Structure 1
Amino acid sequence: MKILKWFFALLILVVIVAGAIAWTLPADVAYRYVASQLGPVSLVGVRGTVWQGHADGVSVFGRDLGELDWQVEKAPLFARRLHADLRIRGADIDTSGLIERAADGRLTAHDVRFRVPASMLAPVLDVPSLKLLGTITGSFAKVSFQDGVVSDANGTALWSDAGVSGTAEARFSDILAEFASKPDGSIGGTVADDGKGNLEVSGHFTIAATGFQAEAFLAARNDDARVREALRYVGEPQADGSSHLLIDGKLFKLF
């Protein structure tokens, strides 16, 4: 009987110690165990705990994005659910959102907000002599992922202080994109200018796990000479002086 009492006492002690360790587990220790499973994502300068911590740097495919802060709620874990508040802040990047992982593996992001330089999208155009100017800000109200399929996604993005530079430089009015998930698991959207500047934009795009496709017609409003010159280096020139832009590529080009 005494042996049984000692056994239960020892078991309770182990549970308490294990719980205390898990409750205060240093983030750098946990990262060493999971780093090999994060694929193209890597962290440096990790500190804090697994529940609330900070990384001096986070990179994806070798591209530095900035600092990472996170806070994980403990209570949902007892129901096999994960609730985390993440934020990435860099010199010109600011992204934040709430991440939830359900017991069935579904991953959902809420209230995602982002700010990135327009130059980050330049690789998808594949025009080395052309630089994109301005800033892109936007938000996802909600987006869910499960088994590689996207659902419940909807949001907007705004390209402000828009412009291009290279052989010629031109500034445009703001350009707005609206997007939402489609039944096949891809994301589709439209893009258009606000009608106040000298670049007229009208187009649509689709983003899927295998890549993305976009089509747009660009034209110089008010016969703006700088815009007409810039359009010579973007897309396929049309007889009326506009440009037909087709993009078909892979998302990894962004990194």
Structure 2
Amino acid sequence: MFVVKKILLGLLIYLVFMLALFPARVALQLAPLPPQVNIAGVSGTIWDGSADTVSVDKRLLEQVHWQLKFLPLLTGKVTVDLTVGSRATAVSGKGLLSWSLSGVQAQDLRFEAPGSFLIGDARLPFRTKVDGELSVIVPQLTQGKPWCEALDGKVFLNHLSVNNQFGDYPLGNIQLALACRNGEVVLSTDEKGNGLGVKGEVTIGENNKLLVDAKVRETAEQPDDLKKALSFLGKSDNEGYYPIRYSGVIPGL
């Protein structure tokens, strides 16, 4: 009996070391990755590993590093401390991400990318081209239906510029607040968060439904093409605000 216990203990120790040192490269070879995902330059273990590049729908992430937490696994939750890129890369980010049967959670999430990274190959209406940089800070995110259960954060659109068949619109810097309302994602701004005289909110609902409820008035900081286009929005109110209304799906999706 003593010999059997020693053998079982030896097997247990062997399995623990095998699991702790299991190569990430082998794990990814065994994983059924979607065809639009391509991972290269994988090193380390499944617990502490990295990849030189991760490509998702032609969107490239560089210098991806992860640390898988052990204790949350005991409660049925996969928790990863994730880092993407650096100051030298176009896309960078970090945060604590968790997944369980109840959905995805995130804490202290930061993400920075050029606008072209998010738009990808999507064709925007009116031959629109968007240039600028995106910065997202999310202290807390809990997935829910249709999108969220809890959400707190900010979105910064820096050096935003829009060009289409109607003109050039250098919009500058815009700050938006992120929140969750009845399971829908809400982005809101006011005139303190932009120099465009815009205030209102955008709601993203089920099936990529987009609802814009905002208004804008002329300011000295607005580009000339935008000032000329304000009258096409309708009649201004007593305070000089023109309505901005849209209900449909997210353009390009």
Task: Give the TM-score, by structure 1 length.
Answer: 0.77
Query: Where do 5+ consecutive residues of structure 2 fail to align?
Result: none
Aligned to 1:165: 163
Q: How is 1:135-154 mapped onto 2 (pairs within 5 angstroms)?
A: 135-145=133-143, 150-154=148-152
The match for 2:203 is 206
Q: For this pair of structures, how many residues does the alignment match?
A: 243
Give 1:225 shift.
2.0
Task: Report how far residue 137 of structure 1 moved.
Answer: 1.0
Mapped contact 2:59–2:117 kept (Cα < 8 A): no
Aligned residue type for 1:163: S
Matches within 5 A, 1:109-124: 109-122=106-119
Q: What is the distance in 2 between the residues matched to 1:151 and 1:118?
A: 27
Provide, for residues 31-56 of structure 1, a one-character-per-residue CA deviation record: whole Å limited to 9, x for no partner: 122234x6854422211111111111
Deviation at 1:30, TM superposition (A): 1.1
8 Å contact 1:140–1:153 — kept in the other structure?
A: yes
- Counterpart amino acid of 2:54? V
Cα separation, partners in 2 of 1:138 and 1:82, compared to 1, 3 Å: same
Task: Find the counterpart in structure 1 of residue 246 from structure 2.
Answer: 246
TM-aligned CA deviation for residue 95 of structure 1:
1.9
CA distance in 1, matches of 2:248, 2:52: 35
Q: Could you give the per-residue CA deviations for residues 1-56 of structure 1, whole angstroms, max 9, x where no partner exists?
A: xxx444333322221111111011110111122234x6854422211111111111
Kindly provide the amino acid, as one letter, of the partner of residue 187 in structure 2. Answer: G
Q: Which residue does the alignment assign to 1:47?
A: 43
Alignment of 1:89 with 2:85, yes or no, is yes
Deviation track 1:176-197 (CA, whole Å, cap 9, x = no partner) reads 21121123x2212313454763
Cα deviations by residue, 1:123-153 (Å, 9 ceiling, x for unpaired):
7782353222221212111111257652121
SS at match of 1:221: coil
2:224 — aligned with what? 225
- Equivalent residue letter for 1:132: V
Q: CA 1:141 to 1:251, structure 2 compared with 1: closer, same or farther past 3 Å?
A: farther
Distance 2:146 2:127 in 1: 35
Q: Which residue of 2 aligns with 1:188?
A: 186
